[in-house]
Amino acid sequence: MADDVHKNTEVNGSKQPFPTSAKSFTAEDEATLTEALKRCSPATIEAAIKFRKTGDPTPVPTVVIGIIERFAEPDQRARLRGADDDLRLIEDLGIDSLTMMEIVILVEDALQMSINNDELRNLRTLGDIKIFIDCKVRGLPPPKPSRFLPIEHIGAVMPIQPPFLFLNEATIGSTSASAKYKITGDEFFLKGHFKDNPVMPASIMLEAIGQLAVLFLIEGGHGEEGKQADPQTIYFTGCEGVRAHRICKPGDTLTISIKPKRLKMPLATIEGQIRVGQEKAVYVEEITMTYGFREAMAQPAAAAPAAAAPKSVHSLPAAAARIISPAPV
């Protein structure tokens, strides 16, 4: 991409320049691009042509999602249509390292950009990739990458412990967080909620959202210089606008997501929701908690190197150099 600025567009509420190619987009270029994307949807090809002709980054997410869809297994492609940004390419879509390599190469060819390996290592979710590519085409520095936290790390830093911990894994970013919890049916409270009809209590799902908010405060890097949120000072104070939309039962996997609305010590207010697949289960407009700071501490031993992490998360072959792989904690 050239350094010349062709037009201004809005990014996060402010006008930002984005670069456009200094080379004209010829009919031959269009034919080459169309051939490269021939197994992608017409919408993907149209979006790529629009970007290459104008330099306008607006169609870029359509191009990236379309290329991922082209390589995804047929039974997984529907998940990409209207998918939330916390959809994971490896764990949720089952895309392996070699397929990821093909995706990256085709994105580079379609958008005429170069992506180096170090830039890709922390990109795990659809949202990570969309934000990264958008910043890349605009010539803007990408945001701090999100961090994947396995259950061992969560258990080491959280003040809440089993059997009342409802986070199996989490991804913590600078402006949001997501987590997974599978209802096993062995939860102690399901024996009486309800008789012969185990249903996850809505209050417990609200608790899971709150637990993710606690983890976000602890691990999100929002403390003052040299300080971090103290787990022993985080307490629930209130909630507003709770809605339950779906019954959740054993076998369901809850996808929990939160984003902060206000963070000003001693109060944190977050918005959260839970989905099962694409179905909304619970939404809370605001959960408010108190918190304080303590001196920043070293990472706990449970946040071990990648080799010690669950095989399902860190099983990509090291020889595959150009991959988007989960980052070790």
Record the tokens describing residue 123, joined without a space.
């990109």
Domains of the chain plus CATH, in order, are 2-138 (1.10.1200.10), 147-321 (3.10.129.10)
Q: What mean pLDDT is predicted for residues 12-26?
A: 53
Q: Which three-class secondary structure string do you get for 288-328? A: EEECCEEECCCCCCCCCCHHHCCCCCCCCCCCCCCCCCCCC
Instruction: Pick the range with the lowest mean pLDDT from 136-150, 159-173, 264-278.
Output: 136-150
**pTM for this model (two decimals):** 0.67
Per DSSP, which regions of 92-201 are E strands? 147-149, 169-172, 177-182
The amino acid sitting at 202 is A
Q: What is the pLDDT of residues 148-169, one digit of tens each?
A: 899 999 999 999 999 999 999 9
- Is residue 34 predicted with pLDDT exceeding 80? yes
Residue 265 makes CB contacts below 8 A (sequence gap 6+) with 291, 292, 293
Adjacent-strand bridge partners of 282:
244, 274
Record the tokens describing residue 135, joined without a space.
């910043």
Q: Which residue has the higher pLDDT, 289 or 141?
A: 289
Pick from 91, 93, 96: which is nearest to 65 by CA?
Answer: 93
The amino acid sitting at 67 is I
Residue 199 binned pLDDT confidence (cut-offs 50, 70, 90): very high
- Is residue 323 predicted with pLDDT exceeding 90? no
Instruction: Pick the range with the lowest mean pLDDT from 7-16, 54-63, 185-194, 265-274.
Output: 7-16
Three-state SS for 118?
helix
Pick from 292, 288, 291: which is nearest to 238 by CA?
Answer: 288
**Tell me, what's the pLDDT at 305?**
40
Q: What is the pLDDT of residues 97-134, one digit of tens each?
A: 888 889 989 999 999 988 877 777 777 888 888 888 88
Q: What mean pLDDT is predicted for residues 201-215?
A: 97
Residue 226 binned pLDDT confidence (cut-offs 50, 70, 90): confident
Helix, strand, coil percent content, the chain, rounded in steps of 5: 35, 25, 45
Pick from 129, 175, 137: which is nearest to 3 by CA?
Answer: 137
- Is residue 9 predicted with pLDDT exceeding 60? no
Backbone angles phi, psi at 301, to 5 degrees: -60, -30
DSSP 91: T
Which residue has 């019954």 as its token pair? 247
**Tell me, what's the pLDDT at 220?**
83
Per DSSP, which regions of 146-252 are E strands? 147-149, 169-172, 177-182, 227-229, 235-244
Record the tokens describing residue 44, joined without a space.
């993907």
